[in-house]
A = this chain, B = another copy of it.
Amino acid sequence: MGIEEFVNKSEGEWRSMRSGHSLAFRQFEQVISSIKISSLSIDDKKVVDIINTHSNVPGEIIIPFSMEWEAESDWENENISSSSSGSTILIPFAISTKKGYIIRSEGYTEKMKVLSYYSFLSDGTLLLSTEYQHTVSEERIWFIAEHVRCRSSVTKDKKSLGILQTSFASEVRRVNNSNQN
């Protein structure tokens, strides 16, 4: 599994069930949202704009894509910030078939342009490591069926590396027929 195959497999509309665990407070949050993933042309103006501001990122540009999300229902705790809807453009820079960087036009945890490091485990699980201004996020995304992905994340405080939150999402692709597997 390389990043191109992973993005190709991820294209489409997904319905996500996401649970968050605040470890220190033992609080749960849960959100149902829609996510749309679409590949973009490397000549797309928005893609070119982002690339131009990150000319120092090493690697070969591969399959830029966009993600749009919208929360359908949200029982989140007030002290956890997240957008109920939004979109981001992601541009992978491969430094080998199994690893590289991804530029994101807007981060999930903090709103800024962010650079993630990605790699793959032996079973094709995508690992994403991202430094934000105050936090570090480690995500893993893996397919459990053609139309079902799992995504887990860990958010750590950047200074203390204390774990602030974990989360887990089950994502089911919207398909025309009812077979989701």
Contact = CB atoms under 8 A, between A and B. Distances in A.
So how many copies of this chain end up in the complex?
A: 2
A102 to B, nearest CB: 19
A180 B17 contact: no
Contacts of A170: 21, 23, 166
A122 interface: yes
A114 interface: no
Contacts of A168: 19, 21, 152, 166, 168
Interface string A150-167: 101010000011110010
Interface residues of A, number: 31
A96 to B, nearest CB: 15
Interface of A: 15, 17, 19, 21, 23, 26, 28, 30, 32, 121-123, 125, 127, 138, 144-145, 148, 150, 152, 154, 160-163, 166, 168, 170, 172, 180-181
B148 A138 contact: no
